[in-house]
Amino acid sequence: MSKVQWMFLFAGIFVVGILLSYLGMLPVMALIACGAAVIMLFVDYEKATIIVAMFTVFEFILRTLIGHPLISSIWDEAALLLCFGIWFYKWLSFRNQTPYRSSPVDISIIFFMAVSVALLFIAAPDFSIGVEGLRVVIQYMFWFFVVTQLLKTPAGAKRIINIVLLTALFVSLYGIYQFIIGVEIPANWVDQAEGKVRTRAFSIFTSPNMLAGYLSLLIPVSVGMFFAENNKARKAYYGIVTVCMGLALLFTLSRSGWIFCFAALLFYVWMKNRKFIVPMLFCMLALFILSVIFMPSVANRILYLFSPAYYASSSTGGRIYRIAKGFELWKQYPLFGMGLGQFGGSVALSHKLNNTFSMDNYYMKTAVEMGIVGLIALLILLYNTFVHCYRAMKKITDTEQKNWAMGILSGLVCVIMYNLTENMLEIPLLSSYFWMFAGIIMFLAYGQNNVSRKPETASVSSVSGAETTG
């Protein structure tokens, strides 16, 4: 059975099982369906990585379409536990393989997790809320270990990337469709002082800014795949995916998305070939001018940033106000913070605590909840992740894989910057993809030497990545 057939078979069985369970129809059949999906993963443990690759699909179906409280609240934790169970199965069944593949990022992640757990016990006015806050902060980092431990070949890594980009294509097309038909949006998504803004694309997400963050992470990845591909048909496909995501990003009217995605692409060009930086700047300027001419809402969104009305609005309830408020609270709890889940994020909002607003700055949110101790641990983690991923990218000798890694690294840089204006690493989907992609880079650079290959599959991939077309 081909890889694509395996992917669709697994996804189909899993979704059917969940649907049957939810509808109360044929519970035995639902149990069998879900069991069959699990068995398929144990037959080839690398296929477990498909779960995180399809996070967008599962999140939309299980949380949005079905929306069953129990399923919505536990599906991602259950999926994570399943993957760790498969990892344990791998360790028991393949004794000729290294039981644990280490990477330079591991210690930084474990250190941040340890600091977070310690702060839960040191500064938690409400322990149950603190546990929720801890889960939001560290849960999705575990996908990093799932990817580094369960991937077997570069082809498996490419499969993950392709699944994510295929999903992003449909997400983007839906966002473009929304913008074309002028879908109705809440009034608070646009400041009236900006002038007439017809609509903003948000696709399957709850806000345009979330869609923009998702696309800003993936556009550099798609660009990397485009330049890595030699086959003309596949190269054209990656080009189409990139263009569709770019249009959808434009239609979100997210200024942060535009700025940080552009910075990430600039970083990609800097790594790839620095002589193209100036031509790229001219191309982006031309695209910006065309956007302003044909989409007045783009010009309105940008010009509004430099208006007195924006400063007044931001100072009374926008980002300037929130940062100032966050700084005031941090000064009250400078060392260990006011406690996980207590401020500026989804947990505080769900419990309707005091100062219940989204901080829209993940670093300030961390400083208020976890103090300077937690903020330093987070900065160390992100700095080391970037540095080690960059070194890993330089270490990769296969040209195709190196292009993948450059695109992925540029996407990670985008998320790190985007945290200045959004709580990006608090969003399950984006946090999962961030750590998944970091894990892919680590695998490509360090993991392949530790993979023990069966004789019949030895030709699929070598340490140097002889076959990576997937």
- 241 and 321 housed in the same domain: yes
- 107 and 89 housed in the same domain: no
Which tokens sit at 98?
């290294």
- Number of structural domains (the chain) is 2
- 126 and 3 housed in the same domain: no
| pTM listed for this prediction | 0.85
Number of C-beta neighbours around residue 323 at 10 A: 16
pLDDT recorded at residue 28: 46
Which of 72, 95, 118 is the last residue in one of the domains? Answer: 95
Per-residue pLDDT of 26-41, as tens digits, reads 444 455 455 555 655 5
pLDDT recorded at residue 20: 53
DSSP string, 349-401: HHTT-TT-S--S-HHHHHHHHHHHHHHHHHHHHHHHHHHHHHHHHHH---HHH
Which of 68, 95, 122 is the last residue in one of the domains? Answer: 95
Provide the residue range defining the domain that includes 377: 101-457
Per-residue pLDDT of 54-112, as tens digits, reads 888 888 887 777 766 666 677 788 888 888 888 887 777 776 777 788 899 999 999 99
Which of 79, 95, 111 is the last residue in one of the domains? Answer: 95
Per-residue pLDDT of 407-449, as tens digits, reads 999 999 999 999 999 999 999 999 999 999 999 999 999 987 5
- Is 334 domain-assigned? yes
Contact assessment for residue 437 and residue 411, using Cβ atoms and an 8 Å cutoff: yes
Which tokens sit at 295?
């989409």
- Is 467 domain-assigned? no
- 202 and 302 housed in the same domain: yes
- 307 and 388 housed in the same domain: yes
- 14 and 153 housed in the same domain: no
pLDDT recorded at residue 379: 97
pLDDT recorded at residue 8: 58
- Is 110 domain-assigned? yes
Residue with more model confidence, 210 or 300: 210
* Range from 188-202, 227-241, 348-362 that averages highest in pLDDT: 227-241
C-alpha distance from residue 301 to each of 296, 319, 394 (Å): 9, 16, 38
User: How far is the C-alpha of 172 from the C-alpha of 285, rounded, in Å?
Assistant: 23
Best CA proximity match to 325, nearest among 338, 336, 335: 338
Distance of CA 411 to the CA centre of its chain: 9
Residues contacting residue 27 through CB under 8 Å, at least 6 positions apart: 20, 21
19-28, 88-97, 261-270: which range is least confident on average?
A: 19-28
pLDDT recorded at residue 453: 38
- Is 328 domain-assigned? yes
